[in-house]
Amino acid sequence: MRLIINADDLGRSREVNDAVAEMFAQGLITSATLMANAPFLEDALDKIPAASRAALGVHLNITEFRPLVAHPGWQGWVDDQGCFSLRAFREKPLTSLVKAAIAAEWRAQITRVRAYGLEVSHLDSHHDVHTDIRLFGVLKRLQYRLKLRKIRLAENPTFGRSGYFLKNRMWNWALRCCPPAALTTAGFTSFATFLEAGRQTQPPFVSLEVMVHPGHPHFAEESRWLKAPWRQNLPFPVELISYNDL
């Protein structure tokens, strides 16, 4: 199995940046995604080893921190401090004006990362908001205008067994088939789910992305697993790759 290990939330805090940089240096992760509107973006870029910068993508964000773009669509959508929130995303309507604001914001986030000389290897998102079917058109137009092909799938949490959400399967098919066609791994899940399933049998994917969250206090156990010799406990071999190898 070809395996991408992607660290989410790069730029979110100095602790996250330090942990991601360390794991890159140790070869424990193969890619990471930057939060372009996060307060420690430049700190992250200073700390990531030069050899790993080609494996950096963008973690599209509309659920935390301040937007980069001032837009009338944010009225009533950001909080009193002018920040995004997951609650607003879940509860506020996604009107055409809000979608226009999201499109402008995501474009600004990608443009900001590119302004530092990065190629942007792939896209994913904070709280998986890019997989919301209501934003599919926004994502596809962004992909076309900015010439980006590689995108994270919606999660297939039980590797094709009975619990595989039908809506995720349909979204993944549309992502790959609707122009411009996205280039993806065959599957995507969390590192914990991968380890749990992988100890029993090889998941039915030739390539898989797993997400990890180094430096986040809620994912300390996940980081311990990542630093352990987990590959020795799998009944099948894995080849670590990045999105650049797809």
Residue 158 pLDDT? 59
In degrees rounded to 5, what are phi and psi of residue 183? -100, 120
Residue 198 pLDDT? 86
Q: Scanning the structure block, which residue is given the tokens 């010439």?
A: 147
CA-to-CA distance for 152 and 195, rounded, in angstroms?
Answer: 19
Residue 22 pLDDT? 97
* Cis-peptide into 180, omega within 30 deg: yes
In angstroms, what CA-CA distances link 31 with 8, 34, 44, 66, 72? 9, 10, 13, 25, 35
Q: Which two tokens mark 107? A: 């474009």
Residue 159 pLDDT? 56
Contact 148, 123 (CB under 8 A): yes
Using 50 as the pLDDT threshold, list the residues of the chain that sit under it.
160, 162
* Per CATH, domain 2-245 is 3.30.470.10: no
Residue 156 pLDDT? 75
* Alpha-carbon dihedral 42, 126, 138, 148, rounded to 10 degrees: 50
Q: Which of 58, 70, 75 is nearest to 111 (CA)?
A: 58
